[in-house]
Amino acid sequence: MTTPLKKILLVEDNPKDLELTLVALERCQLANEVITARDGVEALDWLLCRGAHAQRPAEDPAVVLLDLKMPRMDGLEVLERIKGDPATRHIPVVMLTASREESDLVRSYDLGVNAFVVKPVDFKAFFQAIRDLGMFWAILNEPHPGRLHSGPMKVTEA
């Protein structure tokens, strides 16, 4: 019996960064479904099964790849809500951002982020970083024995 694959939640408002990240994850040949959210509000709606996602099965992602600077609700606010809620605090969150500000790094770790990755500018380095993140969080990491998911490989929007 195989273990069902958990989804990856990618929260990114920049269309170019979103596309590059999806291409990099696809080239890794991960079988995990990637759910995309364009801002923090969409991400929390998906995670908490509310709004447009109220009817979706309650299943935690393998990892949340979270941008920092977004409209409506930024990554730090999303992180604070995820890690502050007993139902979601065990979900791994990786801050994936262009920010090199020390205050963002410190605040992210203070709020409980599992990793902080600065997006490389060079495409090859960016691809390698995304591949490594995908491989670690979706395959190598032993997840919390929370809600599981099995599903086809596809990309959907939150």
Share of the chain above pLDDT 70, in %: 88
**pLDDT band with cut points at 50, 70 and 90 for residue 6:** confident
Domain extent at residue 134: 8-157
The pairing of beta strand 63-66 with beta strand 34-37: unpaired
Confidence check: pLDDT of 105 > 60:
yes
Q: What sign results for the dihedral spanned by CA atoms 80, 18, 137, 119?
A: negative
Confidence (pLDDT) at 99: 86
Residue 56: inside a domain: yes
Residue 99: inside a domain: yes
Instruction: Report how far residue 77's alpha carbon sits from residue 66's, in angstroms, rounded to the nearest whole number.
Output: 11
Confidence (pLDDT) at 121: 82
The total number of structural domains that make up the chain: 1
Residue 3: inside a domain: no
Lowest mean pLDDT among 24-38, 109-123, 137-151: 137-151
**pLDDT band with cut points at 50, 70 and 90 for residue 19:** very high
Q: Which of 99, 100, 60 is nearest to 82 (CA)?
A: 60
Over residues 31-51, the mean pLDDT reads 93
Instruction: CATH number of the domain at 99, please.
Output: 3.40.50.2300
**pLDDT band with cut points at 50, 70 and 90 for residue 158:** low
pTM above 0.75, yes or no: yes
Share of the chain above pLDDT 90, in %: 51
Residue 124: inside a domain: yes
Confidence (pLDDT) at 116: 94
Confidence (pLDDT) at 130: 86
Contact 117, 129 (CB under 8 A): yes
Residue 100: inside a domain: yes
Residue 65: inside a domain: yes
Residue 27: inside a domain: yes
Q: What is the pLDDT of residues 45-65, one digit of tens each?
A: 999 999 999 898 888 999 999
Confidence (pLDDT) at 40: 95
Which DSSP symbol is given to 55?
A: T
Confidence (pLDDT) at 155: 46
Residue 150: inside a domain: yes
Confidence (pLDDT) at 31: 81
Instruction: Report how far residue 158's alpha carbon sits from residue 37's, in angstroms, rounded to the nearest whole number.
Output: 5
